[in-house]
Amino acid sequence: MAEASQTKVERRPWYRPSLTTQILIGLVLGGLLGYLSPKWGNNVYFLRDIFLNLIKSIIAPLIFSTLVVGIAGGGDLKQVGRMGAKALLYFEVITTAALFIGLAIVNLTRPGAGVLLTGGGDISQLVKTQPQGFRDLLVHIFPSSVIDSMVRGDVLQIVAFTVLFAMAVSAMGQRAAPILRGCEALSQVMFKFTNYVMMFAPIGVGAAMAHTIATNGLTVLKNLGLLIGSLYLALVILAVFVFGTVMIIARVPIRQFLKAVREPFTIAFATTSSESALPKAMENMERLGVPQRIVGFVMPTGYSFNLDGTTLYLAMASVFVAQAAEPVIGHMSFGRQIVMMLTLMITSKGVAGVPRAALVILLATLNSFMPGGLGPIGVAVIFGVDELMDMGRTSVNVLGNCLATVVVARWEGEFDDDKARVFGTSEEVRRDLAAGDLAFADAAAEGD
């Protein structure tokens, strides 16, 4: 009886809402500001940039420290290879499912039918980064300078370097023990630093929403409404049926999992940036019961290879342009759509973190499949409402990567059901304080 009372969540005063509630309040107030005063909505946009810059400063040291501790502290390097193979297999299965859901919905609703591709806008700013082929991707994974990779925020290169570095630390044994202890301390410091930055999250996401409404107005909700509605329908189907099935098969504690992902999901939705949600997502998954080494490896790797929401969006956006171009090029067969989807899947690997990366990939691929410059015109049409769609696809990317860490942990037989049971309760705070994890104790006390 006493244990049951210990695991009960203490009610916080109404005047001290949880971080999730604060972020939702920030979203509403930001939207109102952008609608009532577009000038001020645009003026406060710098607050969003401050928030994203603070988040970006966390990512490299956090990934480096947690992955080194996870791999070198675990001792068994064979487990790392096995875990990587399982993660990549899972990524490809889920992204393929997302691909076919997107194709099914866009062919059913046909949002591009009747759209006139005339007078394309200036999209030169989109083509700053060309997508990579498979050979180029393999070369790109291994950095010539990890410092340069950290400066640019190239997650894939940071992961590759850190895995090799951790293997070297593990091979050195006791001689490298000071480095391991230093990385353990650094990871705790970065989680504490994340808690400080998250205090600014309601202001940052509110400013992002104010800018979106101020720039586009509420009429943006009507422009290409069928495409937007179709995308969100497909994302809901993916989340409920595919992710839901995976949760049941992997015996994921659904209630606690949803509680753990609500903050990173909301942040990703408002800022349209997976980077902004990555530190909080990694912290919450570790609190949920996923071992540190799995979180540190699967989450950043999924950042490049498990973009479920982006894959689904690319499928729908490319066929949308093809439907709009039917008067010129004729109907695109389902077989040709599949070829275009496979091209999109291959070329989209390794470009996470590039601004408007999905549009870059989309434009380059459509140029190969569309004659007469229709591809750039179609992308220009989509660009006007891309930010609204970016909200959905980015948040689903974060949701899918959080789920992937739990699935791999369960697959490895290392998911801690006991930690999941007490997630978000006063018992979690008590355990973290007893273990000396002050950063996690603060996060648990603040989050709920």
> What does the DSSP assignment read for 16-68?
S--HHHHHHHHHHHHHHHHHH-HHHHHHTHHHHHHHHHHHHHHHHHHHHHHHH
Among candidate residues 216, 205, 214, the one with its CA nearest the CA of residue 387 = 216
Candidates 367, 365, 76, 112; CA nearest to 231 is 112
pLDDT at position 251 is 93
Per-residue model confidence (pLDDT) at position 396: 93
SS3 14: coil
Q: What is the DSSP letter of 239?
A: I
Query: What is the four-CA torsion angle of 219, 222, 224, 228, rounded to 10 degrees?
Result: 110
pLDDT of residue 232: 93
**pLDDT at site 142:** 87
> Is the separation of the CB atoms in 261 and 423 below 8 Å?
no
User: Tell me, what's the pLDDT at 331?
Assistant: 77
Which domains, from first to last, does the chain contain? 17-447 (1.10.3860.10)
Instruction: Say which amino acid occupies 271.
Output: T
Q: What is the pLDDT of residue 131?
A: 45
d(CA 125, CA 183): 39
- Residue 213 pLDDT: 75
Q: Collapse the DSSP code of 415 into the 3-class scheme (helix H, G, I; strand E, B; otherwise coil) and give the result.
A: coil
Angstrom distance (rounded) from CA 149 to CA 158: 6
Distances (CA, A) of 285 to 120, 178, 218, 224, 288: 44, 27, 36, 36, 5
Identify the burial level of 272 via C-beta atoms within 10 angstroms of its C-beta, where 0-12 means exposed, 13-18 middle and 19 or more buried.
buried
- Of 20, 2, 98, 130, nearest in space to 447 by CA: 20
Going by C-alpha positions, the residue among 142, 273, 124, 170 that lies closest to residue 212 is 273
Give pLDDT < 70 ranges for the chain: 1-12, 14-15, 20, 73-77, 114-134, 137, 155, 212, 216-224, 346-361, 364-365, 367-368, 370-377, 380-381, 383-385, 432-448
Amino acid at 375: G
Euclidean distance between CA atoms 310 and 348, whole angstroms: 9
DSSP at 354: S
Coil, helix or strand for 244? helix
How many residues belong to the chain?
448
438/448 Cα distance (integer angstroms): 16
